[in-house]
Amino acid sequence: MSKLLRHIGWYVKQEWKTYVLMFVLLVSIALFALIPGWLLGLSIDTIISGGLTYQSLLFLGGALVAFPVIRYGLSYLYNFTTVKKSQQLAHTMRKKYLGHLFNMDSSFYEKYQKGDLISRVTGDLDSIIQSATGLLEGLVFNIGFILITLTLMMVTISWQLTLISVIIMPIGLTILNLVREGKRQYFKKHRDIYAAFTEKMLESVEGQKAIRAYVQEDIDLKKQHQEITNDIESWRYIVKFENWFNPLFEVIYGIAYTLAFAFGTYFIIQQMMSLGGLITFVTYIGMLFGPFISISGIFAQLNQATIAIDRMEEVMNHQPIVHDSSSSQAIIDFQTIDFKGVTFQYPFDKQPVIKNISFSIQKGQTIGIVGPTGAGKSTLIRQLLREFNVSKGSVLIDNTPIERFKIEDIRQLVGYVPQSHILFKLPVEENIKIGKPNASDEVVKSAVKMADFEKDLPYLQSGLQTMMGETGVNLSGGQKQRLSIARALIKDPQILILDDSLSAVDMKTERTIVQHLKDLRKGKTNIIVTHRFSAIQEADLILVLEQGEISQRGNHDSLIREDGWYKRQYITQLTGLEG
């Protein structure tokens, strides 16, 4: 419980007035819940003694109706307040969690899978919210109700009968809760299994095109069924445990009821209490069962919430390796970028992807980067996005290490078009304007034209207002690439990076886009990673990467005169085009 209070203590302090109101409401509800039982016993004793009159009947009848109605009103107000505050807490915590995810660097996303992160912000966070909002009711109301009820039973009816019949309840429930506490680790295991199940469902939905294309539906369904089975079996174990375990609480309650009736009857015979007193006492015993069970449920809920908090804090306590410092500088432009002996190794790889890379980029140049698949081309240019810190060497902007500049400013300098194109379920225009949300219609049209996406608009149902399907399923591969290029161009970035982003377009479209870049981005820097040499023939500098190292460098004319990978690959492509 201390862990939960520490986790949400800031919210309790912030909303302390509301929590005081909720506390007062709970105490009032507890008191009004006890009054009908006392009135019932009083009514029976009044009838038996012959003291029932019209006035007393009217009073007792009216009271028996009025108090439940008042309690209903108090309960409605309490429940309304609780739900409102739980939603506010959920909104605040989800916003904080998602904001934290956006601050994480790429090494974080190498470690955690999407399904796992989603399960933490849904299932785990829901468990925390339920415990946080239910804690006041579960402990304050139920414990307060129990103490008030026991006090009334001991003072107004019989302290001996109270000790005899009620003492078994806290002892038995404590033992049962200790047994249940032993299952905490299995609840954590179930959370991990559920996260794996969520990840598989996401993978299957996102990859449904590839699954169908390779006729892998049956194989993928088997994998889905296995994850579903693992989740069900894990939950079935918990349910099976709860099914045989929970009735034990009712057994304890039954024993208390039996003791109350047996000894209560004896006390009536001995004239130690009245029949009305026994009826009121048994009514209170019945009312005690709910709070006692609720307390045991609260402990089970706290058990799950503790596990959920551990999982949430694991993410929230994760600090990005790549981050700004208090001395980080602003940057809006540059003249020279220098790679000096840059070596980079991903956190979970055994070997570096790029090794001892050195070259310079002058503002306004077009740089081509080519090489075999897996040579490290994308890894090289992504060093400009500050996703990771370089392992060795340095990247300098105007002779200043890139780490000294603000990350956001560095990324504002760059318009990056990755190999995989992420499109959102928004209109085409809104997908493009992600690059610059406040862009005018003229700027949008200019970016669309530069990306040669203009010719696609007549084929879209509503032009720029066409709603994208999930991950852009209603666009072809080439259309996705051109839309992504338009998104980057709308920023009018100082550096435009096309990371193999022309692979799905035809040669004519490629030439059009490259010509637009040449004509309309004068004085701006372009970096083109490609497998087709036609896109970089006019580049100022071409780098050839092989096995993570620069094996050749120069312009197109110099490289085709030099024996090496570039010349061999160029001849192969040229022969293929002629054939």
- At 43, which CATH number? 1.20.1560.10
Q: Are 340 and 300 found together in one domain?
A: no
Q: Are 357 and 303 found together in one domain?
A: no
542 — phi, psi (to 5°)?
A: -120, 130
* Contact (CB, 8 A) for 338 and 511: no
Report the C-alpha gap between 50 and 380 in whole angstroms. Answer: 97
Report the C-alpha gap between 448 and 464 in whole angstroms. Answer: 10
* Contact (CB, 8 A) for 170 and 122: no
Strand order in the sheet with 414-417: 414-417, 495-499, 525-529, 366-370, 541-546, 549-554
- DSSP H helices, 433-505, are 441-450, 477-489
Q: Residue 576: its pLDDT value, please? A: 63
User: How does pLDDT run across 175-210, given as a tens digit for each residue?
Assistant: 776 776 666 666 667 777 877 777 777 777 767 766
Q: Are 399 and 527 found together in one domain?
A: yes
324 — phi, psi (to 5°)?
A: -75, 155
Q: Which residues contact residue 165 at a Cβ distance below 8 angstroms, ignoring those fewer than 6 apart?
A: 256, 257, 259, 260, 263, 264, 285
SS3 63: helix
Q: Residue 470: its pLDDT value, please? A: 66
> Considering only CA atoms, which of 139, 136, 125 is closest in space to residue 307?
125
Q: Are 479 and 365 found together in one domain?
A: yes
Residue 121 domain flag? yes
For the chain, percent of residues with pLDDT exceeding 90:
21
Q: Are 306 and 365 found together in one domain?
A: no
The three-point CA angle 305-310-311 to 5° equals 95
Q: Are 301 and 394 found together in one domain?
A: no
Q: What are the E-state strand segments in 31-90? A: none
Report the C-alpha gap between 63 and 39 in whole angstroms. Answer: 8
Q: Are 355 and 470 found together in one domain?
A: yes
Is the sign of the CA dihedral 97, 99, 102, 108 positive or negative? negative
Q: Residue 94: its pLDDT value, please? A: 86
Q: Which residues contact residue 429 at a Cβ distance below 8 angstroms, ignoring those fewer than 6 apart?
A: 444, 464, 465
The three-point CA angle 359-363-366 to 5° equals 70
Number of domains in the chain: 2
Q: Which CATH number goes with the domain that contains 377? A: 3.40.50.300
Residue holding tokens 């055994």?
350
Q: Are 453 and 494 found together in one domain?
A: yes
Report the C-alpha gap between 450 and 512 in whole angstroms. Answer: 8
Residue 40 domain flag? yes
Report the C-alpha gap between 498 and 481 in whole angstroms. Answer: 10
Among the candidates 265, 285, 316, a domain finishes at 316
Q: Residue 5: its pLDDT value, please? A: 64
Q: Are 268 and 410 found together in one domain?
A: no
Q: Rounded to two decimals, what is the model's pTM?
A: 0.66
Amino acid of residue 463: G
Residue 90, domain extent: 2-192+229-316
> Any idea what DSSP says for residue 383?
G
Cα 484 to Cα 365, 366, 456: the distances in Å are 22, 19, 13
Residue 221 domain flag? no
Q: Residue 578: its pLDDT value, please? A: 46
Q: Are 417 and 300 found together in one domain?
A: no
Exposed e or buried b for every residue in 210-232, given b needs 16+ CB within 10 A?
ebeeeeeeeebeeeeeebeebbe
Report the C-alpha gap between 38 and 52 in whole angstroms. Answer: 16
User: How does pLDDT run across 455-513, given as a tens digit for each residue?
Assistant: 888 888 888 898 887 666 778 888 888 898 899 999 889 999 999 888 777 888 888 88
Per-10-residue mean pLDDT, the chain, length 579: 66 78 81 73 72 74 80 86 83 86 81 81 81 70 78 84 81 72 66 77 71 73 82 74 69 81 86 82 79 71 77 86 87 94 87 94 94 91 89 94 92 87 85 89 91 88 83 78 90 91 82 87 92 89 94 94 92 69
Residue 209 domain flag? no
Q: Which residues contact residue 72 at a Cβ distance below 8 angstroms, ignoring those fewer than 6 apart?
A: none
Q: Residue 127: its pLDDT value, please? A: 80
Q: Are 241 and 361 found together in one domain?
A: no
Residue 187 domain flag? yes
* Contact (CB, 8 A) for 1 and 135: yes
Among the candidates 287, 316, 345, a domain finishes at 316
Residue 218 domain flag? no
Q: Residue 579: its pLDDT value, please? A: 41
Residue 324 domain flag? no
Return left, alpha or beta for 380; rule: phi > 0 is left, psi -120 to 50 is alpha, else beta. Answer: alpha
Q: Are 391 and 291 found together in one domain?
A: no
Among the candidates 285, 316, 347, a domain finishes at 316
Residue 153 domain flag? yes
